[in-house]
């Protein structure tokens, strides 16, 4: 019903003033037609549904996966436990699980991978988060180069691997402890660096806060930071950038 | 001198063991030829020199600007005071100054601007930081759309401006206080969102830390965060993304 | 004994100066007759006794429940474990337990429920806290509408549910991670919003502190915040507001 | 003119449908370029627009006040400086200013005040924040009782003033340093308590953070907290509660 | 006149019951509108009223001092500025001021001083806080020994002064930076140590927080801590202990 | 045997100078290799050695207790586990254990108890820490009055128990959550208050930090604070004060 | 074999230039896929590779140890669990394990130890960290003197052990709780003090942060701090200093 | 008087038990003869007196300098203001002042400088702190090499200066913002690195805390950290190390 019709009904006594007032109270939102937003978003974003498994109730998790398997044929579950994998696998036998990255995947095997994202870690203990980032990006169709254990305290390891890092459309720098890797890479490359602090470390590392602060305060240009251990977020954002770099024609 | 020659000299007694040891100690770095890195980087990055003016000594600042004016014809100074503007202007009369964004610019007037970056603010108090971001992006050749005062406590203002935000290659979301703007925009767009917390607020806003935490913890996908009030960093990173989106042929 | 009598006794030597001094030292408190305060408060508040079960010794918990069952016929226990439920159930077979909300309830089944409180959550992981709030409010006689999983990163879900939220006398907004839900709701409703940060999240969410800061710094009007995960406190406060809205005649 | 009045005039034939449509078709905010005035706010929330003056540019502030004076006849400016008062007064001579509460007011003098809100402070240094709360509530039509300097270290002062505190529909407890006032009041009253930490104190008071933590952790029921020094927010929320308590027929 | 004296006069017939009743019936605080003077404080605690001058409005401060001068003949003002001294001096010419300790005093010159309190500082920069403590204790009738500049980085200075420290009924240890003085003294004495962290230091001293943490975590026995820079609080508490040590017959 | 006794025996001819010299010549600590037992502690401080059991290796703990049992006949062990009790009991069968206070005691049963210390708690969950304080004070010879569950959210409970609190030489106020108990008691008593924050609470109580801050910032006089959960430290300090109040002739 | 030895053999004709070239041509790290072993580390720094065992995958750990055993004949593993010891021992039977210091060692038994490092602890609970420091220093060839349980609350224990502390080339001061040991030692010695905060303590010790702050803020000269519980780092740095003190001719 | 004499006097009644008890209470300290410690320390340390000027009273500062000039002929004043320089210069005309390093120096011009300390900064804004370090080290007789503006975001600048950094006996790494410089240098050199965080930066740099955390968490070996902006402390410690490296014969 449009505002004029309502006002006419008020004038004619067919609608009370109170009813009409309710209508206008909500008007600025309803006229945007949000029921359509949902589909619009999925169409637009090119990203399938992702499930944050941690703490999800068993039944809930299984039914979400079943629905996604039926509707979209693909689904990604983050922070999944081996127990959750077993549960989901019973309902969706084709689901796979990576215990390092803690990812549940229902994935088309013949998916093309485009562009180039470099995923670097400072140490071997950062690999779990890096794999979450790398496999998320791959799930969303990005090509990924892994360059692990190139922390700044042994700089020659990083410098010996500069070429693939500089060639990437986007670099994901994963580091705990003091988190200096992102700054050093930021000074060496042309394209954006996504910094991922990890909770690796002890003492005054405060579960990743020190690394987060290092990255947020980086004096290098072209660096932005995601949450501690948020490999998924980095992989998602890197894919957005990689898709833009590959041109719209290549996007899903 | 190559390792073999050194070893031969050691064998022949032409070089002492200690001299040779010094050589091998530094070898892994010197053989990468870092003298070339500098030029390589400037060529590659397509970004002119930028000066962080805050706290720079007067003479130093003036001479840097003079040199850049002579060498590159362009220069950007961030966090400049009106006093610094006056000083630099005496040496470089063509320099301009924006007192809101606190930017000193020596800029080619006929520079082409490509792509599309949307810069949004939650309130009017965030505009200074937003202008630093917007003008930085423009200085580096990006086209910028400004959408100010669209904070989430009056959601219809944001929703009425969705179209230009969704059309951008990259969105910069600038917000202080609780900093929720980035999360809401993140859920509405396809491309990356760079969140910039500002030190706007009082009480438990802790000079921007609360907004920073909100943004780092965002449950929306495709968001990364830069330092509090770091409009420059956001503008730089957004330009990197915008250039990738425009394709290499359009890059400077 | 009244001050005059005391002074007369001092004058007459029937009371020493020291005894009299003791009396006047405590006078400003005792003359308010605090022994009556207790009953007064229960009569006045209309809220039955509530037991914070977490960490209570087993015997203590059981005997409190037995006494309340005998005295009042109703009792609410918060943060109860399944083990505590079993213990109490042996003594009070009619007690019930909700493992999600962790509430032990001894409740009159025919209690009327008045008014309207909306309980919203950002995600499914916030439901445990939301249920603590909702069932507390119901225990105290409020009608509750649950609107779960309407976080701001998928704004259409929230906007599609505006009507019941705007109709409530009070809204409880439960959110972890970045906690932006309260701000967005605050801008959309006319009545008070009680914000409940939850410890849901990881990394820099700091067990709910980030969400707490977001809510405390909200730029929307009409929002106040309770402790992290304090669903009980929110349900209690919402009931106070709801009762005021329903008019005194409807209050218990 | 208020939405209800317009609808009543339409119903009564005193306004044409077309005239009324103009009113409602007006965009829900007015674009001033640097700001978006939320003209539907009063419709949505029953509260007129309020201006956070702190840090607003002079021209912006004056033109916003002029616009509001013209549109709504009333306006409230918070955190205003004496200098801002002088500026606005030139454009709106009828504006008044309270230097303690730092409020700029353009207010109908014959406004009715309903219900009852008690505003309490722990010390005299908390009075500035308390007055911001009290006068905000009065501006929005609430009756306010002030009970100042009743901090818990001299408990008899608080106990001697219990009656008006217990009689209020809502109590605002304003306290700095250790902020224990809210907990003690919370245990003594039936209706909601809004706790306002202030930045009064020194050393480990951390600009109000200690008081904020005390209030958030209160073991008393029926307490919620707003930001440090946020007297305005407390006055607004208390008014929402007070209006509900007075019944809809009394609401503006 | 002090309560005990009144009671003694009643006992001795020097004062009528009615006159005495007037005295005790007087409200336990005097309502000044903006403040409630705690006139029963001396009765309850044995300590006269003390005024925290910092931030008090000029008129308030002057009238409070005038009242206290009339009622009690003595008054102590803490954190007073030279300007406040000038104001108060006009109304109470006999008031004195110590610019180091920032204390305003209206004090009987022939007051006896009992017992023994040692006030120690780590460095010379801690003396301002130490003097606030020492002079507060003296104002309340304690004898004080000052032992300044005996910080633990030059241990011999402390060890050479052990005798007077070990002889005191209570030791006040005042230290900024790392605040280790209290722990070392705590291990050397038999009586209580009151630790006062000061805001002296830079960098990670965080305005006294580091010293506060050191003192709170002390591994020595018999140490308790007051707020940063709270010399007054330490002097007050030390006097309580000193009075207990001197026996009730010596107490004021 | 205590130093005074030795000296008296020397004076009285009951012990030779040489025997006595052996005693005092004994190194002021006994070197156990892994630890240095402070055998002069009782001489210096009047308090016997106390063992912090938490984390001590089994053999170390047992041998320390054996040594103390042999040398002094008394010993106190804090933060002991039931397992540690069993171990020590095998070596020292007369040792006792309180599982609430987690204290191991080897204690003379006929010890006199002097003076009066009041130990108060806000809630029942604070009793473990309160018992550590109370039993420590009793171990060191103080008389203790326990007043539990008198938190400020139900003020009448506290006010109904004022008399024993005001009668004590020293009050220990034990509270978690918001920790307001110390401030309220501080305003009601004449003698020192030792505030003990506890780690009781959840959310923003930060394991007792919020209560600690409340207590440190207390606006009441005569309050000092010990570490979170440090009942032992409070009992020790209260005993020092209590001994001073009882006069030197009564001290151990 | 060590680089110097190789060069000496070349000089002496015991090794051909080609053989030696193979050695130096070897990449400065060995790519294991998941890790990059820094084989030039000993060359660059004079210290062999050290493995941070905590959280390393079993296979990785074993193969790294095997590689190091083969290449260098020595290896140090820090933060190793008993389980990791068992695993490694199967592959390298000569490996030893210290469960207190949590160190895995593959060590030449006839290694000379030079110079003098004093390792002090405040309490017995700090010994685990101290042993990590001491054994690390010994592994790298330093002579170590252990002085444990000399915390500042019993100062005579420290003073009785001054001589060996003052004689050392470098002192490592290990302390938790309030961490005052480093300041006191710093004032008593001539040579550098390395302060190691430990996570020993409770309440406001914040897992070692309070001790860290004490040490960083130390007012004594010649003190620098390493991370909480970082005994390894202290032992390494102390060895660097000790080697310098012993002169180059004595260095490994 | 020795213990035996005292005991004899007790036996003979020439000394009371109480007097004797006092003696033994202090004995463990007095018998170490602390009066000698002072001279011992100065002789031993080889470091002249240093004055922390910040906040020193004018007269105090001048008289200290006069005394030092007379006694030692040399003195160093840190954190001095230009005003303090003028004051001191009147009394000691030969004093010099460096406004960047804020150092007052009374120095022998012909002092020999030994060894080699490298002082590096990340940016130009860190130079003030670096100069404090460098000139302190020079004052104490060390040779210093300055290598400024070699921050890790432009790695080639650092790598091009490796030689003098690797040649130093000790490296001081001065950096604000993210403070990554120390980690990178730590991985490149053989000798100790002293990390000095500076308060340079903005936003989440928290006045140097972020840089401090980066340095404390460094994953490189051989790094220890001093307080934020503590150039003096770094220069002192570096000199201690440098002297050790130069051998005792070269020490002052």
What CATH number does the domain containing A212 carry?
A: 3.40.50.1970
Angle at H8 between CA H7 and CA H11, to 5 degrees: 90
Question: Is residue C29 within 8 angstroms of chain F, CB to CB?
Answer: yes
- Look at residue B35 and tell me whether its pLDDT is greater than 50: no
Task: Output the average pLDDT for chain E.
Answer: 87
Ranges A48-57, C30-39, C89-98, H210-219: which has the least confidence: C30-39
Structure confidence by residue, pLDDT tens digits, E137-159:
999 999 999 999 999 888 888 88
Q: How far apart are CA F20 and CA F7, in angstroms?
A: 8
Same domain, D102 and D161: no
Res E33: pLDDT: 57
Same domain, D236 and D143: yes
CA B100 to chain C, closest CA, distance in angstroms equals 23
Structure confidence by residue, pLDDT tens digits, G58-99:
888 898 888 888 877 888 999 999 999 999 999 999 999 999
| 3-state SS track over C172-210 | EEEECCCCCHHHHHHCCCCCCEEEEECCCCCHHHHHHHH
For chains H and A, tell me whether 3 or more CB atom pairs sit within 8 A of each other: yes
Query: Of the candidates B229, B99, B238, B231, which has an alpha carbon nearest to the alpha carbon of residue B176?
Result: B229
**Cβ distance of B17 and G8 shorter than 8 Å:** yes
pTM: 0.89
Q: How far apart are CA H34 and CA H24, in angstroms?
A: 17
- Count other C-beta atoms under 10 Å from residue A96's C-beta: 11
**Cβ distance of C159 and A227 shorter than 8 Å:** no
Q: How far apart are CA E220 and CA E198, in angstroms?
A: 19
**DSSP per-residue string spanning A193-214:** EEEEE-S---GGGGGGHHHHHH
- Count other C-beta atoms under 10 Å from residue A108's C-beta: 10
Neighbours of chain B (3+ CB pairs under 8 A): A, C, D, G, H
What are H195's two structure tokens? 């990390």
The answer to whether residues C87 and C58 touch, using CB atoms and an 8 Å cutoff, is yes
Q: Which of G123, G153, G209 sits opposite E183 (nearest CB)?
A: G153
Residues of G in contact with B24 (CB under 8 A): 3, 24, 43
Res C40: pLDDT: 47
Containing H/E element for B142?
Answer: strand B142-147
Res D234: pLDDT: 98
Same domain, H15 and H82: yes
Count how many Cα atoms sit within 13 Å of the Cα of residue H80 in the half-sphere of its side chain: 29
Same domain, G50 and G139: no
Res D11: pLDDT: 87
Query: Of the candidates G103, G104, G243, G231, which has an alpha carbon nearest to the alpha carbon of residue G175?
Result: G231
> Tokens 């606006």 appear where?
F219
Name residues whose C-beta falls within 8 Å of residue G206's C-beta, 6 or more positions apart in sequence: E213
Question: Is residue H203 within 8 angstroms of chain B, CB to CB?
Answer: yes
Same domain, E72 and E125: no
Residues of C in contact with E42 (CB under 8 A): none
Mean pLDDT of E50-76: 85
- Look at residue D241 and tell me whether its pLDDT is greater than 70: yes
Q: How far apart are CA A74 and CA A107, in angstroms?
A: 5
Residues of A in contact with G227 (CB under 8 A): 202-205
CA D167 to chain C, closest CA, distance in angstroms equals 11
Same domain, H126 and H244: yes
Entry field: residues in chain E: 252
Structure confidence by residue, pLDDT tens digits, F7-33:
888 888 888 888 787 666 555 556 656
Same domain, B49 and B145: no
**Cβ distance of F155 and C29 shorter than 8 Å:** no
Mean pLDDT of C122-134: 94
Task: Output the average pLDDT for chain A.
Answer: 86
**Cβ distance of E228 and D148 shorter than 8 Å:** no
Mean pLDDT of G207-214: 94
CA E226 to chain F, closest CA, distance in angstroms equals 5
Q: How far apart are CA E1 and CA G22, in angstroms?
A: 99
Q: What is the ipTM of this complex?
A: 0.87
Task: Output the average pLDDT for chain B.
Answer: 86
CA F118 to chain E, closest CA, distance in angstroms equals 15
Q: How far apart are CA B251 and CA B233, in angstroms?
A: 19
**Cβ distance of C21 and E4 shorter than 8 Å:** yes
- Look at residue C93 and tell me whether its pLDDT is greater than 80: yes
**Cβ distance of E244 and F244 shorter than 8 Å:** yes
Residues of A in contact with C166 (CB under 8 A): 25-26
Res B19: pLDDT: 80
Q: Which of B45, B188, B245 sits opposite A244 (nearest CB)?
A: B245
Q: Which of H156, H162, H200 sits opposite B26 (nearest CB)?
A: H162
Mean pLDDT of G239-249: 87
Q: How far apart are CA A217 and CA H198, in angstroms?
A: 13
Higher pLDDT, E27 or A237: A237
- Taking phi over 0 as left and psi of -120 to 50 as alpha, with beta for the rest, B117 belongs to beta
**DSSP per-residue string spanning F71-90:** HHS-EEEES--HHHHHHHHH
| G58-72 and G82-91 helices, crossing angle to 10° | 50
Residues of A in contact with G35 (CB under 8 A): 124, 148-149
Question: Is residue G230 within 8 angstroms of chain A, CB to CB?
Answer: yes
Angle at B187 between CA B184 and CA B191, to 5 degrees: 115
Residues of C in contact with F205 (CB under 8 A): 227
Beta bridge partners of G76: G50, G105
Name residues whose C-beta falls within 8 Å of residue E156's C-beta, 6 or more positions apart in sequence: H34, H35, H37, H38, H41
The answer to whether residues H180 and A183 touch, using CB atoms and an 8 Å cutoff, is yes
The answer to whether residues H226 and H136 touch, using CB atoms and an 8 Å cutoff, is no
Question: Is residue G183 within 8 angstroms of chain E, CB to CB?
Answer: yes
pLDDT range class, residue G219, cuts 50, 70, 90: confident
Task: Output the average pLDDT for chain C.
Answer: 86
Question: Is residue F100 within 8 angstroms of chain C, CB to CB?
Answer: no
Structure confidence by residue, pLDDT tens digits, E173-209:
999 998 999 999 999 899 999 999 999 998 999 999 9
Same domain, B122 and B9: no
Listed in order, strand segments (DSSP E) in B75-126 are: 75-78, 96-98, 103-106, 114-121
Question: Is residue C156 within 8 angstroms of chain A, CB to CB?
Answer: yes
The answer to whether residues E129 and E100 touch, using CB atoms and an 8 Å cutoff, is no
Structural domains of chain B, count: 2
Res C36: pLDDT: 38
Q: How far apart are CA G153 and CA G184, in angstroms?
A: 11
**Cβ distance of B25 and H188 shorter than 8 Å:** no
- Count other C-beta atoms under 10 Å from residue A238's C-beta: 32
Residues of C in contact with B184 (CB under 8 A): 152-153, 155, 180, 184
Res C39: pLDDT: 42
For chains G and D, tell me whether 3 or more CB atom pairs sit within 8 A of each other: no
**Cβ distance of F159 and C209 shorter than 8 Å:** no
Higher pLDDT, D71 or H16: H16
pLDDT range class, residue A252, cuts 50, 70, 90: very low
**Cβ distance of C203 and A34 shorter than 8 Å:** no
Containing H/E element for E116?
Answer: strand E114-121
Same domain, A85 and A177: no
Percent of chain G having pLDDT more than 90? 55
Mean pLDDT of D153-170: 89
Same domain, E102 and E125: no
Mean pLDDT of C21-27: 66
- Look at residue H138 and tell me whether its pLDDT is greater than 80: yes
- Look at residue D15 and tell me whether its pLDDT is greater than 90: no
Res F28: pLDDT: 58
Q: How far apart are CA E92 and CA E69, in angstroms?
A: 8
Question: Is residue C32 within 8 angstroms of chain D, CB to CB?
Answer: yes
Question: Is residue H28 within 8 angstroms of chain F, CB to CB?
Answer: yes
Question: Is residue E188 within 8 angstroms of chain H, CB to CB?
Answer: yes
Start-end of H helices in G148-200: 155-159, 162-167, 181-186
Res C37: pLDDT: 41
Res B40: pLDDT: 46
Q: How far apart are CA H114 and CA G27, in angstroms?
A: 37
Beta bridge partners of F172: F119, F194
Res A36: pLDDT: 37
Would you call C246 exposed, middle or buried from its count of C-beta atoms within 10 A (0-12, 13-18, 19+)? buried
> Tokens 């006839």 appear where?
G110
Res F120: pLDDT: 97
Range of the domain at H237: 114-250
The answer to whether residues G4 and G11 touch, using CB atoms and an 8 Å cutoff, is no
Same domain, G61 and G159: no
Would you call E232 exposed, middle or buried from its count of C-beta atoms within 10 A (0-12, 13-18, 19+)? buried
Q: How far apart are CA F237 and CA F226, in angstroms?
A: 9
The answer to whether residues A139 and A237 touch, using CB atoms and an 8 Å cutoff, is no
> Tokens 């030791």 appear where?
E171
* Domain boundary, last residue among G68, G83, G106: G106
**Cβ distance of G154 and F29 shorter than 8 Å:** yes
What are E207's two structure tokens? 């305005």
What are H88's two structure tokens? 């001191």
- Look at residue G41 and tell me whether its pLDDT is greater than 70: no
Ranges C56-60, C206-210, D150-154: which has the least confidence: C56-60
**DSSP per-residue string spanning A128-152:** HHHHHHHHHHHHTTEEEEEE-S--G
Res B33: pLDDT: 36
Question: Is residue H217 within 8 angstroms of chain G, CB to CB?
Answer: yes
pLDDT range class, residue D225, cuts 50, 70, 90: very high
pLDDT range class, residue A31, cuts 50, 70, 90: very low
**Cβ distance of E204 and H209 shorter than 8 Å:** yes
Beta bridge partners of C195: C173, C225
Task: Output the average pLDDT for chain F.
Answer: 87
Query: Of the candidates C118, C134, C124, C128, which has an alpha carbon nearest to the alpha carbon of residue C76?
Result: C134
Start-end of H helices in D73-123: 82-91
The answer to whether residues F214 and F180 touch, using CB atoms and an 8 Å cutoff, is yes
Same domain, E195 and E222: yes
Res B31: pLDDT: 41
Question: Is residue G75 within 8 angstroms of chain E, CB to CB?
Answer: no
Beta bridge partners of B174: B121, B196
Entry field: residues in chain B: 252
Ranges B32-41, B142-151, C209-218, H228-237: which has the least confidence: B32-41
Res A34: pLDDT: 37
- Look at residue D143 and tell me whether its pLDDT is greater than 60: yes
* Domain boundary, last residue among F55, F86, F106: F106
The answer to whether residues D180 and F180 touch, using CB atoms and an 8 Å cutoff, is yes
* Domain boundary, last residue among B71, B106, B141: B106
Q: Which of B99, B202, B205, B211 to mutate to test the interface with D (most CBs of D within 10 A)?
A: B202
What are C30's two structure tokens? 């005792």
pLDDT range class, residue F39, cuts 50, 70, 90: low
How close are the terminal C-alpha atoms of chain B, in Å? Answer: 39
Residues of G in contact with F197 (CB under 8 A): 203
Structure confidence by residue, pLDDT tens digits, H172-192:
999 999 899 999 999 989 999
């Amino acid at each position: 019903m449009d505002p004029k019709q309502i006002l006419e009904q008020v004038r004619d006594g067919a609608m009370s003033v109170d009813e009409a007032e309710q209508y206008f109270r909500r008007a600025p939102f309803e006229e945007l037609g949000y029921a359509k937003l949902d589909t619009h978003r999925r169409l637009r974003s090119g990203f399938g549904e992702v499930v944050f498994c941690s703490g999800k109730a068993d039944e809930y998790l299984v039914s979400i996966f079943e629905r996604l398997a039926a509707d979209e044929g693909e689904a990604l579950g983050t922070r999944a436990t081996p127990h959750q994998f077993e549960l989901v696998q019973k309902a969706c036998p084709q689901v796979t699980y990576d215990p390092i990255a803690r990812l549940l995947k229902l994935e088309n095997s013949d998916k093309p991978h485009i562009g180039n994202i470099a995923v670097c870690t400072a140490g071997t203990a950062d690999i779990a988060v890096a794999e979450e980032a790398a496999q998320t990006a791959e799930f969303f169709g990005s090509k990924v180069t892994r360059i692990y254990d190139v922390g700044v305290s042994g700089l020659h390891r990083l410098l010996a691997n500069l070429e693939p890092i500089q060639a990437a459309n986007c670099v994901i720098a994963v580091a705990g402890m003091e988190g200096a890797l992102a700054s050093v890479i930021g000074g060496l490359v042309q394209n954006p660096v996504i910094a991922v602090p990890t909770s690796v470390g002890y003492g005054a590392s405060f579960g990743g806060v020190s690394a987060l602060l290092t990255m947020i305060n980086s004096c290098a240009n072209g660096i932005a930071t995601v949450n501690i251990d948020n490999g998924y977020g980095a992989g998602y954002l890197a894919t957005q950038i990689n898709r833009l770099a590959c041109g719209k024609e290549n996007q899903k």
